[in-house]
Amino acid sequence: MHRTVTSAPRRSLLVAGGGIPGLALAVALKKAHGSALEIVLCDPSLNAGATRHRGRAFAVAAGGRRMLQQLGIWERIASAAQPIRDMAITDSRLTDPIRPTFLTFSRDGTEGPDDEPFAHMVEAEPFVDALIAAASEAGILLEPVGITAASTAGSEIRAALSDGRSVGGSLLVAADGARSRLREAAGIGWVGWSYPQSGIVATIGHERDHGGRATEHFLPSGPFAILPLVPGRDGGHRSSIVWTERAADVPALLGGAPDEILAEIERRFGLNLGRLSLEYGPNAHPLAFGIARSFRAERVALLGDAAHVIHPVAGQGLNLGLASAAALAEVVTEALRLGLDPGAGDVLRDYERRRRFDTLAMAAATDGLNRLFSNDRLPLRLARDLGLGLVERLPPLKRLFIGEAAGLRGEQPRLLRGEAL
């Protein structure tokens, strides 16, 4: 028996998409406004819980961690969060007998305070489980259905649900992924392209402790990242890998027996951490670049992958989504506290103004890094290795890079600074 969802047009919010940015936004706004704001979050995969994200892991930058602490989420996932205090960057060919390290970042007092890692690795399952639990406890209405269409009428936007019901609100947040139907229905254009690469993710067990070190091997076919995870249930050492490979080569690389696949991983992973085992995966997916021509339409705001998709070379996709969720929560809160319409055009323009430049800059940076390093051209190799070496020798420049990666530079939303809305 279905319930009929009704809502007041000026004090209600609709979120399409139960990923991390959409859930974080909903929790932030509910924490700030309580019963004064009704929030309905719709996602047909909610019944599957966090299992739909199995095998994935995210690098949560320091700014994102501060936001999650402020929302009461971090305490739920702290035991599953592995701090990254050390990072090494190499540039070599797969056949090179020695893989020299050109650049390192560490929390040794040179690049930043010892008590705050610049990022933590968190597996997706406990992360999403914690957000769903927090949303439910806060009184957010979680609907395991999709939104199939939406139309505006004055100060309300009305959404049709896939089970035949409808729900109304003053603002619809489209956080429904890179192929967002709501973005297309709102008439928002998309600029993007596919890379001739696939991203392969897997969870790897290894004999020796990683010591909290992350490693990025730049190889001609694309970056191979080794990202530390907390020990498994049996206490074993583990890491997540994000392996970028030429799409044409993926079927051959992943089509063999498990020991053959593990051998290919070992060629890239190296032997520093001892014998390897395959705990989960590998799973491959195509890589693409994309950015919406606008982050807003009439009573619609885009969030997360619905607004931008970037290359995983810097591990910043999730952090862009969290920063946008923090900015949107801030402008909506400011409007509500002034008694204004949170879905009005000037409110959404303010949201876009706060996020457009940073998003474009990060998208351009990740695209440029991938193009610069995913090749074997000698002049480019010499230039990039010289550049990495210069950064290694200039502590102020290293601090600049680490501040950007941690999300602690520039004008940040209050939640990313660890402040309440």
Distance between CA 47 and CA 78 in Å, rounded? 25
Please enumerate in sequence order all residues whose Cβ is within 8 A of that of 268, keeping only pairs 6 or more positions apart, or say none: 94, 217, 219, 224, 243
Q: Tell me where in the chain the CATH 3.50.50.60 domain(s) lie.
A: 12-54+65-78+124-191+289-403+413-417
Query: Would the pLDDT of 343 be above 70?
Result: yes
Band of pLDDT at residue 113, cut at 50, 70 and 90: very low
> Worst-scoring range by mean pLDDT, 52-66, 289-303, 396-410?
396-410
Confidence of residue 118 (pLDDT cuts 50, 70, 90): confident
pLDDT at position 186 over 60: yes
- What does the block give as tokens for 304? 């997360």
Question: Is pLDDT at 200 greater than 90 in this prediction?
Answer: yes
Residue 347 structure tokens:
């409110």
Which ranges of 374-413 would DSSP assign to H, the alpha helix? 378-392, 395-406
| Minimum mean pLDDT range among 31-35, 38-42, 48-52, 299-303 | 48-52
Q: How much is the pLDDT for 389? A: 61
DSSP string over 201-253:
EEEEEESS--TTEEEEEEETTEEEEEEE----TT--EEEEEEEEEEGGGHHHH
Question: What pLDDT does residue 393 have?
Answer: 61
Specify the CATH number of the domain 85-121+193-288: 3.30.9.10
Q: Identify the residue with better confidence: 135 or 118.
A: 135
In the predicted model, is pLDDT for residue 407 greater than 90?
A: no
pLDDT at 368: 83
Give CA–CA dist 416/399, Å, rounded.
Answer: 19
For the ranges 159-168, 270-279, 382-391, which has the lowest average pLDDT?
Answer: 382-391
pLDDT category, 299, cuts 50, 70, 90? very high
Out of 37-46, 59-68, 78-87, 374-383, pick the least confident.
374-383
What is the average pLDDT across 198-213?
A: 96
pLDDT greater than 80 at residue 70: yes
| Residue that wins the pLDDT comparison between 2 and 268 | 268
Task: Tell me what pLDDT residue 419 has.
Answer: 95
In 10 A of CB 160, how many CB atoms?
Answer: 15
pLDDT at 9: 42
From first CA to last CA, the distance across the chain in angstroms is: 37
What would the mean pLDDT of 409-416 be, rounded to a whole number?
83
pLDDT at 50: 62
Decide: 147 and 42 in contact? Cβ < 8 Å: yes
Q: Is residue 212 within 8 Å of 106, Cβ to Cβ?
A: no
Does the structure show a pLDDT above 50 at 7?
no
Which pLDDT score, from 0 to 100, does residue 296 have? Answer: 97
Task: Take residue 191 and report the two structure tokens written for it.
Answer: 């600029």
Q: Name the residue among 250, 207, 202, 247 with its Cα closest to residue 226.
A: 202
Query: Is it the case that residue 316 has pLDDT exceeding 90?
Result: no
> What are the DSSP calls for 79-96, one per residue?
GGEEEE-EEEEEE--TT-
- Bridge partner residues of 40 (DSSP): 14, 141
Q: What is the mean pLDDT of the chain?
A: 88
Q: How confident is the model at residue 10 (pLDDT cuts 50, 70, 90)?
A: very low
Compute the average pLDDT of residues 18-45: 96
pLDDT-derived band at 79, boundaries 50, 70, 90? very high
How distant is the alpha carbon of residue 368 from its chain centre?
A: 19
- Residues whose CB falls within 8 Å of the CB of residue 237, separated by 6 or more in sequence, listed in order: 205, 206, 207, 208, 209, 210, 231, 273
Task: Report, as an integer, the average pLDDT of 124-138.
Answer: 95
pLDDT(54) > 90? no
CATH 3.30.9.10 domain position(s) in the chain: 85-121+193-288
Cα–Cα distances in angstroms (integers) from residue 166 to residues 38, 127, 158, 212, in the given order: 15, 30, 7, 48
- Do 358 and 413 form a contact (C-beta atoms < 8 A)? no
pTM: 0.91
Strand order in the sheet with 166-169: 147-153, 156-161, 166-169
Per CATH, the number for 12-54+65-78+124-191+289-403+413-417 is: 3.50.50.60
**Given the structure tokens 């540039």, which residue do they identify?**
91
Q: Among 95-99, 293-297, 359-363, where is mean pLDDT lowest?
A: 95-99
* Cis peptide upstream of residue 100 (ω within 30 degrees of 0): no
Q: What is the CA radius of gyration of the chain?
A: 22
Q: Tokens in use for 163?
A: 């089970």
Question: What's the whole-number mean pLDDT along residues 161-168?
Answer: 95
- Structure tokens, 381: 């190799």
Confidence check: pLDDT of 294 > 80: yes
